[in-house]
């Protein structure tokens, strides 16, 4: 960070539950910088965008060994090395050889190996938040939580997290080592966590980190039934992103556009502001490869939705039906129960 740059901006802060760190109210999901979508950035541009997010007040950065695999952690490590003590870095373990296609692997020895490798790639001496990426039915959750507990005692990890875990697994893990945060999909068009997960998190004092808070780009209003996805874009195999589903789901975008016009905001900002309004311990992690979208997303923290506006949104959503599954069957099978 050059001394000639303007002073760093600040964002409102939130605490991830009773047991977690204090972070910026919006984090930055780094996966899409070089993994999962077709429009990825080269290394220099990706590093710069991460640093731009920090300069604009973001202090919470999300990555995983599986993103790349491995290369996303390297980007995050290099980008944040100059400001390491001012940020919270989250990464994940849980797939064989870091490859989701090979299935889960949360054996204690594998967790330890991932931790050591991630520390090297992230250029750090501790992982702030270490998530189990997906549940491993072959390994008792008590063994997973116990291994991370040991890593915390050794100073290599600060906080334990789970991703897409079910309520039973959350309780079992939390009984061994307090869970700081759960990361799962949550947005205006995927509200399933409200049924069982969010009440449990509130009961146990666990923070919530919604990924895909903009519906993998759909809720921005920049997508239509005519949009085409490259073969290496994850959305090309997702039922909810079929042309027919996108056409049917435009009603969600129309609702956001209506609210946004009244608030002089964008649909993306309203979608994020709605999430921020749900609970004070919710910290969404939108991702982007574009600087102007980063600015747009972070601008959502300044939008206060009134009680009347929130009621209007909830009333409208109660009458809308989402078309298309959020995952193809092989991915849905990984979601915790």
Helix H or strand E encompassing 316: helix 307-318
What CA–CA distance (Å, rounded) separates 324 from 52? 35
What CA–CA distance (Å, rounded) separates 251 from 257? 10
Query: Which one from 67, 131, 159, 186 is the annotated catalytic residue?
Result: 67
Contacts of 87 (CB under 8 A, 6+ apart): 54, 59, 60, 61, 80
Known catalytic residue at 67 = yes
What CA–CA distance (Å, rounded) separates 145 from 160? 8
What CA–CA distance (Å, rounded) separates 179 from 336? 15
Cα 33 off chain centre by: 13
What CA–CA distance (Å, rounded) separates 275 from 306? 13
Q: Which of the 8 DSSP states describes residue 23?
A: E
In the numeric block, the tokens 């047991």 are attached to 19
Q: Which of the 8 DSSP states describes residue 168?
A: H
- Residues forming the active site: 67
């Amino acid at each position: 960070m050059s001394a000639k740059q303007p002073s760093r901006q600040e964002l409102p802060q939130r605490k991830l539950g009773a047991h977690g760190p204090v972070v910026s109210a919006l984090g930055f999901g780094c996966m899409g910088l070089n993994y999962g979508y077709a429009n990825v950035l080269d290394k220099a541009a990706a590093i710069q965008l991460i640093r731009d997010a920090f300069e604009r007040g973001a202090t919470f950065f999300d990555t995983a060994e599986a993103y790349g695999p491995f290369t996303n952690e390297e980007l995050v490590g290099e980008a944040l090395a100059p400001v390491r003590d001012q940020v919270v870095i989250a990464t994940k373990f849980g797939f064989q050889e870091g490859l989701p296609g090979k299935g889960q692997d949360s054996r204690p020895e594998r967790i330890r190996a991932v931790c050591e490798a991630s520390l090297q790639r992230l250029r750090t001496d501790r992982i702030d938040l270490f998530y189990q990426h997906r549940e491993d039915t072959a390994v008792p959750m008590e063994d997973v939580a116990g291994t991370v507990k040991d890593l915390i005692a050794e100073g290599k990890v600060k906080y334990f997290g789970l991703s897409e875990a079910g309520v039973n697994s959350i309780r079992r893990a939390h009984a061994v080592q307090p869970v700081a945060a759960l990361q799962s999909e949550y947005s205006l068009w995927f509200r399933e966590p409200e049924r069982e997960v969010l009440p449990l998190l509130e009961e146990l004092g666990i923070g919530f980190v919604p990924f895909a808070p903009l519906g993998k780009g759909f809720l921005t209003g920049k997508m239509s039934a005519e949009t085409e996805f490259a073969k290496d874009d994850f959305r090309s195999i997702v039922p909810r992103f079929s042309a027919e589903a996108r056409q049917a789901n435009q009603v969600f975008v129309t609702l956001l556009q209506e609210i946004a016009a009244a608030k002089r905001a964008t649909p993306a900002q309203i979608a994020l502001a709605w999430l921020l309004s749900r609970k004070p311990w919710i910290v969404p992690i939108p991702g982007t490869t574009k600087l102007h979208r980063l600015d747009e997303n972070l601008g959502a923290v300044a939008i206060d939705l009134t009680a009347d506006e929130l009621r209007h949104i909830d009333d409208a959503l109660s009458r809308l039906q989402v078309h298309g599954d959020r995952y193809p069957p092989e991915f849905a099978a990984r979601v915790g129960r």
